[in-house]
Structure 1
């Protein structure tokens, strides 16, 4: 092939393949879902009903198994054919059901997170599951099973583009690396925890007692200990192996998993609150865990997806908080220490409310003032007699429960007034979480923000910061 002559333009890019555009058309799960469902139903029938029918002879078992296979196929095949989905402008339309037909049309402006999940078996066959988390509780999540991996990735990109207010054909947003969790650090941090170390020691003691005294009764305590270690040690180890976090205009992207690979994308503004957990022994290593409350997750899904960084250096954890809440600096918020009972501290500035509590396990909870749901100043009979009060900052259900506990009543009132004032200032019409990519354009259409001279003047001493 001859090179182009000077002045001659480069050849045009090749046209997109017919299957690359997911913004139009109707799609289905991979056809493999049909034989998988048939095989699963047949195995359940043989395992449960087969032993009962074997008294009549294996011919009956074989005959009934064949009938179950054809019956399952007669249901699975039309169910797969009628189970379709597709994008219609900025809505995701999902059809399903065979006898009872259903149709769901979901506005993507309610999108909270998009996950591409690939369990071990699906990795072998090159398929994936697309999970779309929406605001609205447990029943609002959309799960599209057994999609070809390329289709799942392209659909994730198109869904995020629609949610951001961009055309669905927009390319995947670029990303920049943020943090990769080394496996030795993950292994050491999971081991270097007081409950795990005590369980290991107790397990060794019970094993020694069984060998020395040949007492079989100790095995009754070995089983629950072993199951507990499998859940709280092996579970996180397999889950967060090869953990990688990156930042993009679409939000925070997390990739992790040993046997079940997962790519989680959290769009900007979906994180409602964050807490940084530092267990006693982790402080010696200088590492912490970052957990978040996300409005789209509820119930078990909240606990399953709340970790933003399972193990990371403490400074990296605070850097991520600043990335989640642009314009803030969580580490420099001035804190007021409470020395009445257990040591704790709380502080507020124009961006964040920060509380620190815990003697053995230090927990730092951070809530942006524009994401606060309600503010409560509470005091029981004994607290009123002592002149104390507690300020609670409520957020959507999740791991974060920020509060300024057991404060002087006047100090608690100042905290409440400062939080209310900062929250009122922060809640502007452009602070919503919908269509984050075009929010700057909408602000430009409304006109420039008022200058400092146009704002209402405040006398010194009236600002919430000076009140504290």
Structure 2
């Protein structure tokens, strides 16, 4: 075996305290964790068993019965000859043994997997031949999220994910704990995180959990209840959801609204048009359905994947406030609880597709610090997948500074969503420079500056309003091609930290206006940190916003 390889997810320059780590209480994950890790193997194994029966059904052949299986004899020689000891049950025993052999690597991974917690760090050890130790400093932790794949929900398990300040590559996971333990450990660790960041002395988390068997106390209590009560409690915790202490729900997206928004989306319209076209070709051109489907399989797979992601990330979506910041909960098969602490939201974007105007729906997305496009995450950067104007008015005050503290007024936000041309603090380009190029978007593209925010408006088919604090803007780029130089216009790109929403583009702006905006934005950026750091900065709801 190779030597242990320590890895600090916070990339600290401080040397690790080896003696302190030797006193840690190391604990294993839940014993059912290997089943969650091996879900793909389980699905493939079950598919291999069921596939012959399905093929016989479609061919019209008589399916195999238990009597037919009982007539099959075990091998009389070779390494499997001993199976005759089980008589007519040798085949099911062989199947079970093969299944267990496939799970052996996953159980070995679980056996060598450990985690520990002290007053300032979270440690994870893994590996049988090549050992790895990772450490996340709690004072660098941005959020602690709870992720639950479908099989984990069925088994009552959950994963804790620690996002630290260095970004996507430094996230640390503890896989898997019981859902009760995961929520309890997360709450204790968040108390430690707040204590460390405030300068007070925290107490060690997880001290009430018994080493080596974290679920012993809950199981002992659950054993005293009736089986039916235990089953009802399991369903409530793992499928209906449990609200945390101190949480207050802001928005809940009904399933009917989510399905309606998907029906009014471009992807569904394309699928419907392709289906009508395929039916027409089958009727008039005498082309088989199989040939049409095979030739367009890649297109269908991409559209179905996009629709499924939209359904899964919007299903049962809830936005709540908590002592740790805003939280989003969502998921049909895999459920995710994402925490958005103060200071991590870099920009906010409100969009309204063309067909959503019929129902008055909006979508609110955010860009997060330390979480870019390359990170494998279920969180799509959405504070509101689809919601009414009333939902929008409940969310924006939580993440956008009000006019009294250098932010946007209610009139400016309304103008950014609905108005055209200049007015209400927005500046639109001169019509003479733009009408020759893009008359259709002539009155929507505009911007507005406040002491703390840059608001960019655009889009005619899909209305867009982007809100970015001056202190969060990393780059403001002016682009001008040959046609732009000829007609005297330019495009501006605003880039903030975090890539979930991406850059914001202000198209077809007069060259003079674009250059003036660059200068003014540089001046505002110098003083923006002083505005945001001023004491008493609060949103209209009386709390610090996530943009603070």
User: TM above 0.5, one fold?
Assistant: yes
Choose which of 373, 392, 400 in structure 2 pairs with 1:317: 392
* CA pair 402-330 structure 1, distance change in 2 beyond 3 A: farther
Question: What is the match of residue 376 of structure 1?
Answer: 477
TM-score for the superposition, normalised by structure 2: 0.64
* Residue 206 of structure 1: how far off its partner (Å): 1.9
**1: distance between equivalents of 2:361 and 2:42?**
50
1:90 Cα deviation (Å)?
Answer: 3.1
CA distance in 2, matches of 1:229, 1:388: 37
- Per-residue CA deviation, residues 51-75 of structure 1 (Å, 9 max, x unaligned), is xxxxx999557999969957964x6
1:419 aligned residue: 521
Moved more, 220-229 or 383-392: 220-229
Following TM superposition, by how much is the alpha carbon of 1:36 offset from its aligned partner in structure 2, in angstroms? 6.2
**Greater Cα offset, 256-265 or 61-70:** 61-70
TM-fit CA distance, 1:203: 0.7
Give the superposition deviation at 1:293.
1.0
Tell whether 2:370 aligns with 1:269.
Answer: no
CA separation of 1:429 and 1:182: change in aligned 2, threshold 3 A:
closer
* Offset from partner CA, 1:172-210 (integer Å, 9 cap, x none): 651222111122211111101244124213313423543
Cα 1:300–1:35, aligned 2, differ >3 Å: closer, same or farther? closer
**Cα distance, 1:391 vs structure 2:** 3.4
In 2, the alpha carbon distance for the partners of 1:345 and 1:429 equals 24
Pick from 377, 381, 391 the counterpart of residue 306 of structure 1.
Answer: 381
Counterpart check, 1:95 vs 2:169: no
Cα distance in 1 for residues equivalent to 2:484 and 2:392: 35
Q: 1:287 to 1:223 in 2, by over 3 A?
A: same
Q: Which residue of 2 aligns with 1:86?
A: 116
- Measured at CA, do residues 296 and 188 of structure 1 come closer, stay the same or move farther in structure 2, by a change above 3 Å? same
Deviates more, 1:109-118 or 1:359-368: 109-118
- Aligned pair in 2 of structure 1 residues 59, 353: CA closer, same or farther (>3 Å)? farther
2:304 to 227, 230, 243: 230
Q: Tell me the SS of whatever aligns to 1:27.
A: coil
Contact 2:350–2:466, Cα closer than 8 Å, also in 1: yes
Alignment of 1:286 with 2:360, yes or no, is: yes
Please, which runs of 5 or more residues in structure 1 have no aligned partner?
1-23, 49-55, 433-468
Contact 2:452/2:532 (8 A) holds in 1: no
1:281: how far off?
Answer: 0.5
Structure 2 match to 1:114: 144
Deviation at 1:429, TM superposition (A): 10
Q: Does 1:359 align with 2:460?
A: yes
Deviation for aligned residue 1:319: 4.0
Give how far 1:30 is off. 0.4
RMSD: 3.7
1:376 is paired with a residue whose SS is: strand
Task: Name the SS for the 2:333 alignment partner.
Answer: coil
Q: How does 1:11-410 map to 2 (within 5 A)?
A: 25-34=25-34, 59=78, 73=104, 79-164=109-194, 165=197, 167=202, 174-207=246-279, 209-210=281-282, 214-216=286-288, 217-220=291-294, 223-224=297-298, 226-298=300-372, 299-301=374-376, 304-317=379-392, 319-327=394-402, 328-329=407-408, 331-333=410-412, 334-338=425-429, 339=431, 340=434, 341=438, 342-343=441-442, 344-396=445-497, 397-410=499-512
How far off is 1:272 after superposition? 0.8
Q: Is the 8 A contact 2:316 2:330 kept in 1?
A: yes
Map of 2:63 onto structure 1: none
Call closer, same or farther: CA 1:110–1:301 in 2, change over 3 Å.
farther
TM-score scaled to structure 1, two decimals? 0.74
Output the CA distance in 2 between the equivalents of 1:99 and 1:290: 46
Change (3 A) 1:385 1:156: same
* Equivalences, count: 401
Distance 2:38 2:310 in 1: 33
1:213 offset after TM fit, Å? Answer: 6.0
Q: Aligned pair in 2 of structure 1 residues 407, 260: CA closer, same or farther (>3 Å)?
A: same
* Structure 2: distance between partners of 1:62 and 1:145: 40
